[in-house]
Structure 1
């Protein structure tokens, strides 16, 4: 790292938190480092973070953590059997070359009108991220990312091995399955079973929307 390690970390946090250009970060009086040095800091620090993510972002596998997740969801939202809430969010990127052999720009142009990576997040009731999938370009639909994800296959295998009380919750863009629950279609009064179910699932699923909001408010570069 070109700068002292602690300055490099602070420099990257400043860059991510303000969404500014690298040059303006480098000109800051408290950093006083060049734009090329800022670029190296960003590369080194983000690589270090990526190397450690598997130690912090862990989908619950053992019964103790699974039961803890389900208990917290039930205590806070009255919804049994839930281990996490799922959603996707678009992270804007600079458009790649239009004629790139592997990553053509068209694949990253999303339905909202900008270039992005569509990132799938799963979070628990305590707003902790327990799974991330950032492998797909912005044109890929949330449901398609889910169908191709390892977590989908993992939950399906658990279900086929008689782990029936083990679910994620998502919005209406996801396909209903025994291990991924979504709202009951249509409008239903709250006093009906369908209405009560929808009310609980909407409140419980809000955790993933809150996490996405917190991330994008904290790190404006996202």
Structure 2
């Protein structure tokens, strides 16, 4: 939290990490190629990452097909399951910042969706959130600039592709730690539930938990917004 607080003149408070997803171009997979065909018209795998204030990766989750929505990847990631189960404990009041592709919750704060009618307080909130959350985009930029292999991972197996990405993120952290390189610099609207995530009737409890999580996130976001009132 202290690192994020000192990073910007008007930093978002209580932040322990910034999350986002990034796609890495791959060769056309021999199996289930359509799942890896992303919205940019290329074949890719997804890496979800959380970074700290020094652009180091705190958590990475690699290998989901490029067509998967960021919210789907988040809901299936070990870090999400760890936080919701209590296995991963965040500091009291701590939040992770993400963009609007992610589901709002009490520990993951996303911007107010811009429907053309945002209040001045909501716009100010979004601006301060984005100015801090941009650190994850900077981390991705530094990662790509260091390791050009990530522009197109030309290996045969998907397992090896994920291992290449993981190795690059580990080296990225190593360089920052030892060389001080950190200076380089729709999903759940209303209820937070998408039909392609919850489809079976026996998941009713999970639906309730998601809705409750979203409602708690709304309350937490409004509470944080009050800090920025002029």
CA distance in 2, matches of 1:153, 1:167: 16
Structure 1 residues not aligned, in runs of 5+: 1-69
CA distance in 2, matches of 1:161, 1:169: 16
Instruction: Assess, with a 3 A threshold, how the Cα gap between structure 1 residues 131 and 208 changes in structure 2: closer, same or farther.
Output: same
CA distance in 1, matches of 2:22, 2:89: 32
Instruction: Name 1:74's counterpart in structure 2.
Output: 5
The question of whether the paired residues in 2 share the 8 Å contact of 1:156 and 1:179 is answered with no
Deviations 1:5-30 (A, max 9, x none): xxxxxxxxxxxxxxxxxxxxxxxxxx
CA distance in 1, matches of 2:102, 2:90: 23
Deviations 1:139-167 (A, max 9, x none): 11111000111111222244998954121
Cα distance, 1:217 vs structure 2 = 1.7
Instruction: Name 2:147's counterpart in structure 1.
Output: 219
Instruction: Name 2:65's counterpart in structure 1.
Output: 137
CA distance in 2, matches of 1:154, 1:80: 23
> How much is the aligned-residue C-alpha RMSD, in angstroms?
2.2
Higher CA-based Rg: 1
Equivalent in 174, 179, 191 of residue 107 of structure 2: 179
Cα distance, 1:197 vs structure 2 = 1.5
The question of whether the paired residues in 2 share the 8 Å contact of 1:71 and 1:80 is answered with no
Aligned residues: 146
Instruction: Name 1:31's counterpart in structure 2.
Output: none
Tell which has more relative contact order, 1 or 2 (C-alpha 8 A, sep 6+).
Answer: 2
Structure 2 residues not aligned, in runs of 5+: 151-230
Matched residue of 2:148: which SS?
A: coil
Matches within 5 A, 1:10-89: 70-77=1-8, 78-89=11-22
Equivalent in 38, 43, 46 of residue 118 of structure 1: 46
Cα distance, 1:96 vs structure 2 = 1.4
Using structure 2 for the length normalisation, give the TM-score.
0.58
The question of whether the paired residues in 1 share the 8 Å contact of 2:47 and 2:62 is answered with yes
Matched residue of 1:134: which SS?
A: strand
Using structure 1 for the length normalisation, give the TM-score.
0.60
Matches within 5 A, 1:190-209: 192-209=120-137
Cα distance, 1:75 vs structure 2 = 2.1
Cα distance, 1:179 vs structure 2 = 1.0
Instruction: Name 2:23's counterpart in structure 1.
Output: 90
Matched residue of 1:198: which SS?
A: helix
The question of whether the paired residues in 2 share the 8 Å contact of 1:120 and 1:134 is answered with yes
Matched residue of 1:221: which SS?
A: helix
